[in-house]
C-alpha cells in the first residue's frame, strides 16, 4: 500500500541544519497494524506527517498504491488526503464551536463522493457516542473527544488511519478504551499507522518500527501483539447519488453556516468590523439622497423659470468708477419688444417687464412687496399659470386695467390664506382687483419669489410707476439649438434700432440655458464630491475588515491546518474566509442602509432640505459594500489558503 525509498527531510533552526529523516525506506501492506516508536526528536512524527501527505520530503520517492505522490499538486494532495487517509491527532484538534456530529462531518464538506451527513451519525455510533452527537468538545471527556476524532477519521471510509500519539493526553482508562477501538478498526480491515513513544501502546500493533536520529534502526513483527478481536462486518459508507448542483448547494450552505458560527463566536470583533461598512454605506445613501434631492430641487426651480429663455437688459455703464444703473445710457421700449417679436426668427413669445417695491393695503393690513408689470405672454414663458383664478388678457393690458395676481407669501400676509379672488387691494393708494393666485415658486438666494404681485405692463408703466421705458425684455426661443443664432440677431437688431454703429453695443443678453447648465453642473459636482467622501468611508471600512480577517487567520491557524489535513483545498479555505468577509459586508450594508435612510429622513424634517432616497442608491451602496468585502477579504483569504498544513497544525 505504501512504499518509500531513501526519504530525507532537513529543517533549518536558525543557521543550523537539523536532519529529521536521513534515508528512510519502508513498505506498509494493506491491512497492517504498524507502530512507529522512538524518543522525542527521533523523527517519527516527521515520518508520519510525510506519509500522511501533510509535509513533503526534500528527497526520495513516495508511492501509495503504486502512485508517485511527490509530484502531486496542492489540490491533488488535498483530495488524496480526504479520500484515502484519516487522521487522529494527539491534541484531538476538534473545533470548539461545533458539535460532535458536525466535527465528525467536517471531512464530508470537502469530499466529492456525495456522502450524506448520516455517515457521521453512523461513525459516532460505531465509536460508542450515539448519545453525545449534539455535545460540544468542552462537554466531552478526553477519551470521548478522541473517539470523536477517530469517528471523524473514519467518516470518508479511508484506506489507512494515521494516529499521532492518540493516547498522549488521556488517562490510563481512556487510553485502554482508545486502543481497543483501534484494534477493532484493524479487525474490520483498516490499515493503521500508529506513532507513539510508549512501548505499551506500541505493543497493540502487529509490527513495530523503531526510529532514531532520523533512521530506522529496527523493523520487526511484534510477537506480543494481542489477538485480533472478532467483530461483525466492515466499515462501509456507500456514497449517495446526489446531483452535482445539489451537492454544491449543500456544501456552500455548510460553509456559510460555519462562517456565521465563526463570526458569532467573536461578536464584538465582528460588530466592529461591520461598523466600518455600516458607516460607509449609511454615508453613501445619505449623501446620494441629499445630492439627488438638491439636484431635483435645482431642476424644479429651473423649470419654474421657463425653458429656452433669453433676457435682454440695458448694459450698466461706469463713469468715474461708479455704476450709473441699468439703462443709464440706453433705454428699452415697448417698441423694441414689438420689433423683436416681428423681426427676429425663432422667437415664440416676448414680454417686457417693469417692477418696483410698493406698499400694499388690504383692509386693515399693510405689506410691502415687489410689484411687476408684465405682458400676457409672461404667463406661459415663466410657468405662471394661476392656481386659482386667471391671468389678465391682452385687452386688459392695452386698456391699463387695474387687475392683479397675488403671490403665495403676499396672500398669507394680507388674507391669511383666504380666497382673495374679487377682493380689492390698494397699491400705492390705487385700487386693484385680484383676479388670480400665482403658483408657488419658492426662494432663490435671499429673494422670496412668492412675495410679489403681477399687474399688466401698461398699467404699471403709466398708472402706477410713471415709466416710459421697460427694465428688461424676456424672449422665448422655439428650440434650444436656435438660442445662439437668435441672441446674435437680437443684439444686431438693438444696435440697428439704437444706432450704435461701430460703438460697443449698450445691451446685454442673459442666456437662461447657460445658467441652468451651470447650476446643473455645480449640482452634479457636489453630488460627486459627497459620494467620493462616502466612498472613502467605505474603503476605510474595508480596511477594517481586512485587519480583522488577518487577525482571524492568525487566531485560526491550527483550524486551517486541520481543515487542510482533512482534505480542504486552497480554494475551499479561501472561499470560507471570503464568505465571512461578505457576511460582514452584507450585515453592515443592511444596517447602513437602514441608518442612512433614517438619517436622511431625520435631516429632511430638521432642516427642511429636499431628500430623495432611491432604490438605485441603496443597490449601489450594497454593491459597493460587497465589492469592498471581496476586495479586502482576498488578501487574508489567500494568506490562509497558502498555509502549509503541518506548519499550521504546529502553530502556537
Mean model confidence pLDDT for the chain: 82
Residue among 465, 558, 501 nearest 89 (CA): 558
pTM value > 0.85? no
The tens digit of pLDDT for each residue in 368-422 reads 999 999 999 999 888 889 999 999 999 999 999 999 999 999 999 999 878 999 9
Q: Indicate whether 403 belongs to any domain.
A: yes
Summarize pLDDT for 497-535 with one digit per residue, the tens.
887 665 566 788 887 666 666 666 766 776 677 667 767
Please return the burial class of 250, using the count of CB atoms within 10 Å of its CB with bins 0-12, 13-18 and 19+. Answer: middle
pLDDT of residue 425: 94
Q: Give pLDDT, residue 399.
A: 93
Q: In the numeric block, which cell numbers belong to residue 178?
A: 482508545
The answer to whether residue 489 is domain-embedded is yes
- Cβ partners under 8 Å of residue 383, min gap 6: 303, 304, 305, 306, 439
Kindly state whether residues 98 and 165 are assigned to the same domain. Answer: yes
588 with 476, same domain? Answer: no
642/577 Cα distance (integer angstroms) = 13
Q: Domain total for the chain? A: 3
What pLDDT shows up at residue 51?
87
Are 190 and 227 contained in the same domain?
yes
| Inside any domain, residue 452 | yes
Tell me: do 371 and 433 sit in the same domain. Answer: yes
Where residue 64 sits, what CATH number does that domain have? 3.40.50.300
Q: Which range of residues forms the domain containing residue 361?
A: 331-505
Same domain? 426 vs 561: no
Query: Are 279 and 237 part of one and the same domain?
Result: no
Distance between CA atoms of residues 462 and 464, nearest Å: 6
Of 480, 505, 530, which residue sits at a domain end?
Answer: 505
> Residue 288: what are its φ and ψ, rounded to 5°?
-65, -40
Predicted confidence at residue 240, as pLDDT, reads: 45
Whether residue 491 is contained in a domain is answered as yes
Pick the range with the lowest mean pLDDT from 120-134, 143-157, 504-518, 595-609: 504-518
* Grid coordinates given for 384: 405662471
Is the domain of 567 the same as that of 468? no
pLDDT at residue 520, rounded to an integer: 65
Confidence of residue 238 (pLDDT cuts 50, 70, 90): very low
Residue 171 sits in the same domain as residue 53: yes
- Of 477, 505, 533, the last residue of a domain is 505
Confidence of residue 455 (pLDDT cuts 50, 70, 90): very high
The residue written with cell numbers 462501509 in the block is 236
Q: Are residues 489 and 399 in the same domain?
A: yes
pLDDT at site 546: 79
Flag whether 249 is in a domain.
Answer: no
Q: What is the mean pLDDT of residues 215-240?
A: 69
454-475 average pLDDT score:
92
pLDDT of residue 516: 63
Separation of CA 129 from chain center: 44
**Residue 173 and residue 12: Cα distance in Å, rounded?**
39
* 231 in the same domain as 290: no
Q: Between residues 404 and 9, which one has the greater pLDDT?
A: 404
Closest among 460, 364, 359 to 410, alpha carbons compared: 359
Q: Is residue 554 part of a domain?
A: yes
Residues 593, 644 within the same domain: yes
The per-residue pLDDT for 416 is 87
**Local confidence band at 250 (pLDDT 50, 70, 90 cut-offs):** low
pLDDT > 70 in the chain, percent: 86
What percent of the chain is helix, strand and coil (3-state, nearest 5)?
50, 20, 30
Q: Which domain-ending residue is among 209, 241, 273?
A: 241
**Residue 318 is assigned to a structural domain of this protein:** no
Domain co-membership, 569 together with 494:
no
pLDDT at 457: 94
Report yes or no: 155 and 123 within 8 Å, Cβ to Cβ: yes
Question: Is pLDDT of 329 > 70?
Answer: no
State pLDDT tens for residues 143-198.
888 888 888 888 888 888 898 888 877 888 888 888 888 888 888 888 899 998 88
317 in any annotated domain: no
The region of weakest confidence among 39-43, 224-228, 447-451 is 224-228
Amino acid at each position: 500500500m505504501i512504499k518509500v525509498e531513501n526519504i530525507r527531510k532537513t529543517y533549518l533552526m536558525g543557521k543550523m541544519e537539523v536532519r529529521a529523516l536521513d534515508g528512510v525506506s519502508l513498505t506498509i501492506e494493506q491491512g497492517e497494524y504498524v507502530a512507529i516508536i522512538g524518543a522525542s526528536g527521533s523523527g517519527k512524527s516527521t515520518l508520519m506527517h510525510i506519509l500522511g501527505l501533510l509535509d513533503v520530503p526534500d528527497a526520495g520517492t513516495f508511492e501509495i498504491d503504486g502512485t508517485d505522490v511527490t509530484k502531486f499538486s496542492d489540490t491533488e494532495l488535498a483530495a488524496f488526503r480526504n479520500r484515502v487517509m484519516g487522521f487522529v491527532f494527539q491534541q484531538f484538534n476538534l473545533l470548539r464551536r461545533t458539535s460532535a456530529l458536525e466535527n465528525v462531518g467536517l471531512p464530508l464538506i470537502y469530499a466529492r463522493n456525495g456522502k450524506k451527513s448520516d455517515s457521521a451519525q453512523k461513525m459516532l455510533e460505531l465509536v460508542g457516542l450515539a448519545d453525545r452527537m449534539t455535545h460540544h468538545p468542552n462537554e466531552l471527556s478526553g477519551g470521548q473527544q478522541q473517539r470523536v476524532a477517530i469517528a471523524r477519521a473514519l467518516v470518508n471510509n479511508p484506506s489507512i488511519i494515521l494516529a499521532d500519539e492518540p493516547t498522549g493526553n488521556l488517562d490510563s482508562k481512556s487510553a485502554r478504551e482508545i486502543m481497543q477501538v483501534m484494534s477493532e478498526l484493524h479487525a474490520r480491515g483498516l490499515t493503521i499507522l500508529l506513532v507513539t513513544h510508549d512501548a505499551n501502546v506500541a505493543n497493540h500493533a502487529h509490527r513495530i518500527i523503531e526510529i532514531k536520529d532520523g533512521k530506522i534502526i529496527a523493523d520487526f513483527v511484534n510477537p506480543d501483539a494481542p489477538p485480533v478481536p472478532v467483530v461483525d462486518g466492515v466499515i462501509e459508507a456507500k456514497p449517495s447519488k446526489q446531483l452535482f448542483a445539489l451537492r454544491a448547494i449543500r456544501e456552500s450552505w455548510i460553509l456559510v453556516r460555519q462562517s456565521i458560527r465563526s463570526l458569532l463566536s467573536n461578536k464584538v470583533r465582528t460588530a466592529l468590523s461591520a461598523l466600518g461598512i455600516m458607516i460607509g454605506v449609511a454615508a453613501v445613501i445619505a449623501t446620494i439622497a441629499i445630492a439627488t434631492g438638491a439636484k431635483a430641487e435645482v431642476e424644479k426651480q429651473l423649470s419654474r423659470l421657463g425653458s429656452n429663455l433669453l433676457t435682454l437688459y440695458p448694459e450698466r455703464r461706469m463713469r468715474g468708477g461708479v455704476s450709473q444703473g441699468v439703462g443709464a445710457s440706453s433705454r428699452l421700449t415697448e417698441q423694441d419688444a414689438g420689433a423683436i417679436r416681428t423681426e427676429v426668427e425663432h422667437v415664440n413669445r416676448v414680454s417686457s417687464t417693469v417692477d418696483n417695491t410698493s406698499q400694499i393695503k388690504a383692509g386693515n393690513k399693510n405689506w410691502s412687496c415687489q410689484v411687476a408689470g408684465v405682458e400676457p405672454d409672461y404667463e406661459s414663458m415663466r410657468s405662471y399659470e394661476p392656481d386659482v383664478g386667471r391671468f389678465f388678457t391682452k385687452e386688459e393690458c392695452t386698456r391699463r386695467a387695474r387687475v392683479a395676481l397675488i403671490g403665495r407669501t403676499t396672500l398669507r400676509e394680507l388674507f391669511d390664506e383666504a380666497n382673495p379672488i374679487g377682493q380689492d387691494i390698494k397699491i400705492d393708494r390705487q385700487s386693484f382687483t385680484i383676479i388670480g393666485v400665482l403658483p408657488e415658486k419658492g426662494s432663490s438666494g435671499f429673494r422670496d419669489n412668492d412675495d410679489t404681485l403681477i399687474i399688466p405692463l401698461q398699467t404699471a408703466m403709466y398708472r402706477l410707476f410713471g415709466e416710459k421705458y421697460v427694465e428688461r425684455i424676456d424672449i422665448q426661443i422655439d428650440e434650444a439649438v436656435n438660442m445662439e443664432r437668435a441672441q446674435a440677431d437680437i443684439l444686431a437688431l438693438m444696435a440697428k434700432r439704437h444706432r450704435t454703429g461701430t460703438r460697443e453695443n449698450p445691451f446685454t443678453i442673459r442666456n437662461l440655458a447657460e445658467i441652468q447648465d451651470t447650476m446643473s453642473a455645480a449640482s452634479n459636482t457636489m453630488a460627486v464630491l459627497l459620494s467620493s467622501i462616502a466612498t472613502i468611508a467605505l474603503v476605510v471600512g474595508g480596511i477594517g475588515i481586512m485587519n480583522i480577517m488577518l487577525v482571524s487567520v492568525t487566531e485560526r491557524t491550527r483550524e486551517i491546518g486541520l481543515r487542510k489535513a482533512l482534505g480542504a483545498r486552497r480554494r475551499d479555505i479561501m472561499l470560507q474566509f471570503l464568505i465571512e468577509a461578505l457576511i460582514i459586508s452584507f450585515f453592515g450594508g443592511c444596517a447602513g442602509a437602514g441608518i442612512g435612510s433614517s438619517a436622511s429622513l431625520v435631516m429632511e424634517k430638521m432642516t427642511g432640505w429636499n431628500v430623495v432616497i432611491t432604490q438605485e442608491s441603496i443597490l449601489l451602496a450594497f454593491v459597493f459594500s460587497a465589492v469592498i468585502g471581496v476586495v479586502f477579504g482576498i488578501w487574508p483569504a489567500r494568506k490562509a489558503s497558502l498555509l502549509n498544513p503541518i506548519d499550521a497544525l504546529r502553530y502556537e
